[in-house]
Amino acid sequence: MPVQDPRRRLRHASGLGIEVDEAAVRRADETGHAWRSPVWRLPDGSFTEW
């Protein structure tokens, strides 16, 4: 989106104005991920939240 006066012009099309590389998303889906929920502990060994 071009910048004007230092604001952005409104889009006249639907959507968020981003493009997604669907082939890259499908490749990443085939690979999967190794993310695990973190276990956080305080210095005294007790559990904590985000």
Query: Which comes out higher in pLDDT, residue 14 or 4?
Result: 14
Chain centre distance of CA 47: 27
Q: What is the pLDDT of residue 13?
A: 74
pLDDT in tens, 8-39: 667 777 777 788 999 999 998 888 788 887 78
Q: Distances from the Cα of 28 to the Cαs of 13, 24, 36, 39, 43, in angstroms? A: 28, 6, 17, 25, 37
pLDDT higher than 70, residue 41: yes
Q: What is the pLDDT of residue 26?
A: 92
* pTM, two decimal places: 0.40
Spatial contact of 1 and 11, defined as CB atoms under 8 Å apart = yes
Q: Residue 4 — very low, low, confident or very high, per pLDDT cuts 50/70/90? A: low
Report CA torsion sign: 45, 33, 21, 13.
negative
